[in-house]
Structure 1
Amino acid sequence: MELQDAISARRMVRTFDPDRPVPEEALQRILRNGTRAPSAGFSQGQAWLVLRGTELEKFWMYGSDAVGDSVRTAPLVIVPFSCKRIYLERYAQPDKGWTDMDEARWPVPFWHIDTGMAAMLQLLTAVDEGLGALYFGIIPSQVRAFKEAFGVPEEYDPIGAIAVGYDSETEKRDLRSRRRPIEDLVHYGAWSA
């Protein structure tokens, strides 16, 4: 599949075939491609928790009330995590010129942004593998219980979760009419009304 085809085909799938597991080769490619995302200072402050089988029952108990029952049919959930400490330590190394780990130097939290870019590569890889995927959030009030249930170190923050599987939606949603026109989003040279 060409990149443009994967981008055009990518959409959020909310119903999966529970009887078709994600092939191991596809999972490994999805995970590997996530490691190819940009990483400030090549800090690589991401990690992933892969959940399948009975692990998913526990995830849905602790992980997210934010999705409908149809999403729970996904045979695979990947939870991407970011780690701020890894970025702060990397930029306190001599080749970066900072001698401290002052978070105020960062205009935005690149640890979250880089992990989000990795998640996008994983979503596109799922499409390229002929799979459907949905990125969704973990409700903030559930994060602590989720991390405790899966033994996630305190310093790692989930930026969301990705449900992956074979698309079994019977009615595809057409959101083209809701997509904002590019003219409303792109500004050349200066911001105009």
Structure 2
Amino acid sequence: MEFQDVVRRRRMVRRFTDEPVSDESVRRILRNALRGPSAGFSQGQAFLVLRDAELARFYEVVRLWTFESVKAAPVVVVAFAVKDAYLDRYAEPDKGWTDRSEDRWPVPFWYVDTGMAVLLALQTAVDEGLGAVYFGIGAEDFDALRAEFGVPGDHVPIGAIAIGHGDEEDVSEGASPRTRRRRPFDEAVHFGHW
């Protein structure tokens, strides 16, 4: 698929069939996610792939922040940001910082980079002919998620991606594109001056 087609077709799919997703597709989606930008090549992203019984346990410990129909997706990938990877990397001699202070960071790049990885996963799902939706995980569920799946304590779940074969002809009922339009290009993009 051409890149412009991937960008144009990328949307949040909220209804899925029960058709399985191949391991090959899941691995390609995550290989591409790992190719995202990473400040200092810190590589502070991690992903947990859940299917079958693991997926049922996920929905037992994590409150769903999206449509109930999303639970039909056969794969959920939880994306984690790992701040310590960035703090450690920038304390190395080639970066010139001698400490791990968060004060040096104008924005938390561990979240920015993980968000970019999630977008690459969403785009690759489209390229694989699949549907996907990103949804949040409430902070009150972080500890239960970590405990249930053995996730290290320094890994912060920024959200999850449900992946499957879409069961929608058009945009999901209740979805924002049905009720809101994209901002006009000229309102969002400014060349040279606001």
TM-score tier after normalising by the smaller chain length: over 0.9
The 3-state SS of whatever aligns with 1:11 is coil
Map 1:1-193 → 2, pairs under 5 A: 1-18=1-18, 20-173=19-172, 175=177, 178-191=181-194
Please give the alpha-carbon distance, in whole angstroms, between the structure 2 residues aligned to 1:64 and 1:44.
28
Measure how far apart 1:134 and its partner are.
0.1
Structure 1, unmatched stretches of 5+, are none
The separation in 2 between residues aligned to 1:64 and 1:76, in whole angstroms, is 17
Measure, in 2, the Cα distance between the counterparts of 1:75 and 1:127: 16
Segments ≥4 residues shifted beyond 4 Å: none
Larger deviation, residues 78-87 vs 56-65: 56-65
The CA RMSD measured in Å over matched residues stands at 1.4
Number of equivalenced pairs: 190
Give the percent of matched residue pairs that are identical in Structure 1 and Structure 2.
Answer: 56
Single out whichever of 62-71 and 24-33 deviates more from structure 2: 62-71
What amino acid maps onto 2:191 in structure 1?
A: Y
CA distance in 1, matches of 2:53, 2:113: 30
Q: What amino acid is the match of 1:21?
A: P
Measure the CA separation in 2 of the matches of 1:68 and 1:148. 25
Whole-angstrom distance in 2 between the partners of 1:5 and 1:169: 18
Deviations along 1:136-155, whole A, 9 cap, x unmatched?
Answer: 10012112212111111110
Residue by residue over 1:6-50, the C-alpha shift from the partner in whole angstroms, topping out at 9 and shown as x without a partner, is 0000000000112x1111111110010011000000010111000
Q: Aligned partners of 1:45, 1:122: CA distance in 2, in Å?
A: 16
TM-score (norm 1): 0.94
Q: CA deviation at 1:172?
A: 2.7
TM-score, length-scaled by structure 2: 0.94
Give the Cα–Cα distance (whole angstroms) in 2 for the partners of residues 32 and 88 of structure 1: 24
In the aligned structure 2, how far is the partner of 1:120 from the partner of 1:77? 15
Following superposition, the deviation at residue 69 of structure 1 comes to 1.6
Structure 2 portions without partners, runs of 5+? none
Distance in 2 separating the partners of 1:190 and 1:93: 38
